[in-house]
Amino acid sequence: MTTPEDAPLLELAGLAAYVRLGLFGLVGAHTLGAPDLEAAHRMMTVAVRVGEQQQKLLAIGAERGVEPVELMRPFLGVLDSFDARTVQSTWWEGLLKGIVGHGVSSDLCRLLARGLPDDDEAAVVGAMTYEADESDRVTSVVRAATDADPRLGSRLALWGRRVVGESLSLCQELLATRPGLAELARRAAAASGGDAPVDAVAWAMSELTAEHTRRMDRMGLAA
């Protein structure tokens, strides 16, 4: 049974699951048109992991009596404007969009999960856990390509800045309009220590930006 106390958890799991549905389509489609069989196989492996993560997130809802589609429904369309503003013009741009978008959304969900009771935090973080070598599978495809072609690297660095800008705007919009997520951000920010009162949204944006910079560094791209 759903209780009011579950609302932030369900909102977070629903968001994370819905984002993974969109991401799955993007990464899954990238098995087509991959530069070689290795890259296609890596895309598929990563997409399957994203799918498995989504199933675990949906299970969090199901254990509380919320059907998969109903868990995601409140977020229907939430990526549309992001997608419209980040239409990739090449296979590589689409791939980087997936990496950046997935990275930012996963980081946001992990940050917000810190505002949940410990058991619930563990359930959300556990659902999104990802072997380190899984994400290496994709970033190494980008790294190899940009090492071989520096012009591709500078085009992708520029593109990455656009995608991260849109991703952070979307995060801000979600925190401004979804009460459960906003509450989690306040709790997580308060728990992050320090004596001064913390602006939860500003705190989250700075954490997300720092993680994004590390991720771009790993791909050899200027953030």
Binding site for a second copy (CB under 8 A): 21-22, 24-32, 37-38, 40-41, 44-45, 47-48, 51-52, 54-55, 68-69, 72-73, 76
Shortest distance (Å) from residue 6 CB to a second copy: 21
Q: Which is nearer to a second copy, 40 or 144 (CB)?
A: 40
**Nearer residue to a second copy within complex by CB, 9 or 71:** 71
Rg (C-alpha) for the chain, rounded Å, is 17
Q: How far apart are CB 214 and a second copy at their closest, in Å?
A: 28
Count helices and strands (H / E) in the chain. 10, 0
Half-sphere exposure of 86 (CA within 13 A, CB side): 30
Of 74, 23, 26, nearest in space to 53 by CA: 23
Q: Which is closer to a second copy, CB of 28 or CB of 220? A: 28
Residue 55 or residue 213: which is nearer to a second copy going by CB?
55
- Give me the phi and psi of 3, to 5 degrees please: -115, 160
Residue 113 C-beta: closest distance to a second copy, Å: 23
Reading phi first (left if > 0) and then psi (alpha if -120 to 50, else beta), residue 4 is in alpha
Residue 24 Cβ vs a second copy, minimum distance, rounded to whole Å: 5
Which region, left, alpha or beta, applies to residue 196 given φ > 0 means left and ψ of -120 to 50 means alpha?
A: beta
Give the 3-state secondary structure of residue 215.
Answer: helix
52 or 147: CB nearest a second copy: 52
Rounded to a whole number of angstroms, the minimum distance from the CB of residue 197 to a second copy is 39
